[in-house]
Amino acid sequence: METKILTTSEYDIAIAGEILKNGGLVAFPTETVYGLGADALNETAVKNIYKAKGRPSDNPLIVHVADKKDIAPLVKEITPKAQALIDAFFPAPLTIILNKSEKVGKVVSGGLDTVAVRMPENEIARKVIKASGCPIAAPSANTSGLPSPTKSKYVVEDMMGKIDAIIDGGDCEFGVESTVITLATETPTILRPGAVTKEMLEKVIGEVQVARAVTEGMKKDEVASSPGMKYKHYSPKAKVVIVDADKETYEKFVNGKKDAFALCFEGDSVNIPKVTFGRENDDLSQAKELFDALRKLDEMGAKKVYARIPRITGVGMAVYNRLIRAAAFTVIDLKKPFVIGLTGPTGAGKGYVSNYLSSLGFNVIDSDKIVKTIYEKNQNVLDKVCKVFGNDIIENGVLNRKKLGDIVFSDKKKLETLNSIVHPAVIEECEKQAVFPAVIDAPQLFEAKAQDKCYKIICVTADRETRINRIISRDGITKEQAEKRINSQFSEKYYTDNSDYVVCNNGENIKTQIDKILEEIL
């Protein structure tokens, strides 16, 4: 098929109108992204939209009108809240879902009983719809799964040869698709955030909910309130990872990363190849540039991309919603004090792993050392310990750890009491010492309930026999004593079940195992 490239002249718009009237497909600019239009009431034409985009047929299309009065025939009823939104916002980057009328076919609505309607703000868009004389079904004019097109050149890339015409109307003003709100549910619910924010909507119609899937991934077997939620979206060819960190931590994290690209804000100082999407405190600029940036990364051949996290309020919610889908919900949370928690049962050879991480430049915090210092110097902790276990565990001003050990290791309740005094102090001190990228080496990570403070947890284990032999030669104790120690800890299964990664340290290819894990984490 030959695809005509049209201008925004009155003459060309009239041509576009004719093509649409006759069941053809025309891509045109809107204030959000380019749309791929067809007569919404012509079933064959609508089917061709799905074909050109490669879009699943159960994912409904938005019906666009040029005039407010053209909405009524499409819906069962314009509810009072719908009327309020239409009065307050239309024409706008806002789509309203209502129960559909008989007039709207099942193909447009993806088999649902509802229909999505929108009156675009962009004048060219409205002129095209008007010229066609029909309501226009129009999804974003991209190949299904790719970022929506914010410039005509991207429509050309995706649709050339597949549709009748493309109107070149320059760059889109907002850059992310319209806000989609359903009024077909008890409480109005945002299914897709956009330039018309929750706050703006609430001013007009009161309480508005945000569908959980807007910021989180769909759970397995969850039914999507909007079919579009369940499909892969906005995905560039590169693997995108969102980095939840402030500017400085982000820069430290990405700088020096091999074979990776940064998707960051203007002014971020990174020394790897980068593409920016707007300015840090300007969510409108981020919305406008995000899809363009994702497409640019593909053009540059990026394989791995570290993206800076946008703020999730206002229009930022729309930006985050698109970015998290582009990243397939992968977020590295560097706001946690520890990048890695390193733990494992006694005798597993955790020390070797911690030394190796340290040699790679991680700042390893040794929690055992911190415990020791606390027993020596933290008067507050010592006072509490004495209060519970008696003053005679202090000898010549020094805490007798062996004596304390004898008391607590044969009495689980007492051990728990001691832990409840000591662990918070240990965590506090570890946090104080944590410098990115920090690793906390903590045999008692789980006992101290410090796992939530770690981005990822690596557990080091080894065969039971190996561990017993290591403990015997390390501490000069009997086999029986070694076994007793092992049995007093969590089971090996507990460690592995509660960790993200397991290193098996029987003495072979440990570095290879760790390198592989680090590659995945970072």
**Region binding ligand TXA by CB under 6 A among candidate stretches 68-76, 132-140, 395-403, 493-501:** 132-140
Place of tokens 């309740």: 413
Residue 139 makes contact with ligand TXA by CB under 6 A: yes
Output DSSP code: residue 337: S
Sort 486 into a burial class: Cβ within 10 Å, 0-12 / 13-18 / 19+: middle
Sort 333 into a burial class: Cβ within 10 Å, 0-12 / 13-18 / 19+: middle
Given 52, 191, 297, 504, the residue binding ligand TXA (CB under 6 A): 191
Q: Name the residue nearer to ligand TXA (CB basis): 40 or 371.
A: 40
d(CA 273, CA 201): 39
Residue 276 makes contact with ligand TXA by CB under 6 A: no
Q: Cβ of residue 57: shortest distance to Mg ion, in angstroms?
A: 15
**Region binding ligand TXA by CB under 6 A among candidate stretches 76-84, 177-185, 238-246, 500-508:** 177-185
Q: Name the residue nearer to Mg ion (CB basis): 167 or 229.
A: 229
Strand, coil or helix: 179:
strand
Q: Cβ of residue 300: shortest distance to ligand TXA, in angstroms?
A: 25
Given 30, 32, 59, 140, the residue binding Mg ion (CB under 5 A): 140
Residue 140 makes contact with ligand TXA by CB under 6 A: yes
CB neighbour burial string for 52-73, b if at least 16 within 10 angstroms, e if fewer:
bbebeeebbbbbbbbeeebbee
* Closest to 414 measured CA to CA, from 404, 424, 423: 404
Q: Cβ of residue 120: shortest distance to ligand TXA, in angstroms?
A: 6
Strand, coil or helix: 207:
coil
Amino acid of residue 356 = Y
Q: Cβ of residue 148: shortest distance to Mg ion, in angstroms?
A: 5
Q: Are 201 and 318 in contact, with CB atoms under 8 Å apart? A: no
Q: Name the residue nearer to Mg ion (CB basis): 32 or 343.
A: 32
**Region binding ligand TXA by CB under 6 A among candidate stretches 73-81, 111-119, 128-136, 353-361:** 111-119
Q: Name the residue nearer to ligand TXA (CB basis): 114 or 152.
A: 114
Which single residue brings its beta carbon nearest to ligand TXA? 228
Residue 122 makes contact with ligand TXA by CB under 6 A: no
**Region binding ligand TXA by CB under 6 A among candidate stretches 58-66, 128-136, 255-263, 451-459:** 58-66
**Partners of residue 4 on adjacent β-strands:** 165
Distances (CA, A) of 490 to 25, 112, 494: 64, 52, 6
Q: Cβ of residue 128: shortest distance to ligand TXA, in angstroms?
A: 11
Q: Name the residue nearer to ligand TXA (CB basis): 41 or 422.
A: 41
Backbone torsions φ then ψ of 137, nearest 5 degrees:
-75, 130
Torsional sign, CA 211, 215, 218, 224: positive
Q: Name the residue nearer to ligand TXA (CB basis): 145 or 507.
A: 145
Q: Cβ of residue 95: shortest distance to Mg ion, in angstroms?
A: 11
Helix residue ranges per DSSP H, 378-408: 379-389, 401-408
Q: Name the residue nearer to ligand TXA (CB basis): 154 or 495.
A: 154
Residue 97 makes contact with ligand TXA by CB under 6 A: yes
152 binds, among Mg ion, ligand TXA, none (CB under 5 to 8 A by kind): none
d(CA 460, CA 488): 17
User: How many chain residues interact with Mg ion (CB under 5 A)?
Assistant: 1
Q: Name the residue nearer to Mg ion (CB basis): 50 or 265.
A: 50
User: How many chain residues interact with ligand TXA (CB under 6 A)?
Assistant: 28
Q: Cβ of residue 140: shortest distance to Mg ion, in angstroms?
A: 3
Output DSSP code: residue 391: G
d(CA 125, CA 167): 10
CB neighbour burial string for 382-416, b if at least 16 within 10 angstroms, e if fewer:
bebbeeebeeebbeeeebeeeebeeebeeeeeebe
Q: Name the residue nearer to ligand TXA (CB basis): 114 or 354.
A: 114
Q: Cβ of residue 158: shortest distance to Mg ion, in angstroms?
A: 11
d(CA 100, CA 115): 5
**Region binding Mg ion by CB under 5 A among candidate stretches 132-140, 209-217, 296-304, 383-391:** 132-140
Given 27, 52, 62, 254, the residue binding ligand TXA (CB under 6 A): 62
* Closest to 131 measured CA to CA, from 275, 213, 28, 4: 28
Residue 193 makes contact with ligand TXA by CB under 6 A: no
Q: Which residues bind ligand TXA (CB under 6 A)?
A: 30, 32-33, 35, 59-62, 93, 95, 97, 109, 112, 114-116, 118, 138-140, 177-178, 180, 191-192, 226-228
